[in-house]
Amino acid sequence: MNAVILEAGTVSRGDIDFSPIENLVDRFQIFDFTPTDKTIEYVGDNEIVLCNKTPFTREVIKECKNLRYIGLCATGFNNIDLQAAKERNIVVTNVPGYATRSAAETVFAFLLEFAKRTSSYTNFVKNGGWIRAKSFAEFVYPTTEISQKTLGIIGYGAIGKQVSHIAEAFGMKVIVNTRTPIPGASNVSLEELFVKSDYISLHCPLTPQTEGLVNEKLLSLCKKGAVIINTSRGAVVDENALVFALESGKIAGAGLDVAAIEPMSESSPLWEYLSSENDDLPKLLISPHVAWAPIEARIRLVEIVAKNLKSFINENPINVVNRV
């Protein structure tokens, strides 16, 4: 069988070995990126497609006549019309769990930056502040301990649980909001979580029920000094409401690895706020959807993609998201 990967550039910048996949097929084509209007052309006569965020609508699936398998190089699958694939007996698989530790660590990269202000202090030193100082310790920016602070976790899947474990190691108090109460966890309502938390970390999938979940009403409940951290999906947060909460001082900060539109649009309220912010202590920290991307996580990703594909070829598919 022949295979094509449509977005190799989202998995590797020349630092990942694709041979575990290539060795499973007769022909393996590689495209770094695929424009939406080129999807059908790039798929061509291949039976196997590997992709990340390329949209596979009903129309695209209809035109890909030989397609038998879509292997996602990601956990999320909202870019695939699963029903249309199922009707064509096309198996769709995803990659769960490969970036659990990476995403959880990113939460604490944001959290500790707000608590300790390492970047701000680095800029202070770089600009000569310590050289001009009269004291050996120039604590010009306020910092806090995170021990005994309350971390509210929304969504308690694998990443939420990993975040909880790390938080407990730091001595934080953890409260949880999830669809199904977790035995042994401090389960609370959304409203109570926003009222009580010093830090709030989002780990829920993007669904019609969670879109815009973090809105003006919930943000208005935050205690002064609270910080929102989102490493899940951008659209879980109402970005206009978040910017208003930052501007008004209702919350002290937000650390985001995701945005509602990716790559970020120039019309994004987050971009407008970020580009106008000129403060030694920035309230908004953003990374470009890279919480999942450490080299170790991407190696695991390719290993699981290859395992998924091998299982499909052996007629015993695993990690199927559209049971056919």
The residues that are catalytic are 233, 262, 289
CA proximity to 16, closest of 300, 314, 320, 315: 300
> Do 171 and 194 contact (CB within 8 A), yes or no?
no
Q: Can you read off the two tokens belonging to residue 146? A: 């995170």
> Do 18 and 38 contact (CB within 8 A), yes or no?
no
Bridge partners, residue 3, by sequence: 28, 48
Q: Can you read off the two tokens belonging to residue 142? A: 């306020």
- Report the distance separating Cα 154 and Cα 291, nearest Å: 17
> Do 73 and 305 contact (CB within 8 A), yes or no?
yes
Tell me how many degrees the CA angle 303-305-309 measures, rounded to the nearest 5: 115
Per-residue burial over 84-122, b = 16 or more CB atoms within 10 Å of its CB, e = otherwise: bbeeeebbbbbbeebbbbbbbbbbbbbbebbbebeebbe
- Report the distance separating Cα 197 and Cα 186, nearest Å: 12
State the burial class of residue 71 (Cβ atoms within 10 Å of its Cβ: 0-12, 13-18, 19+). Answer: buried
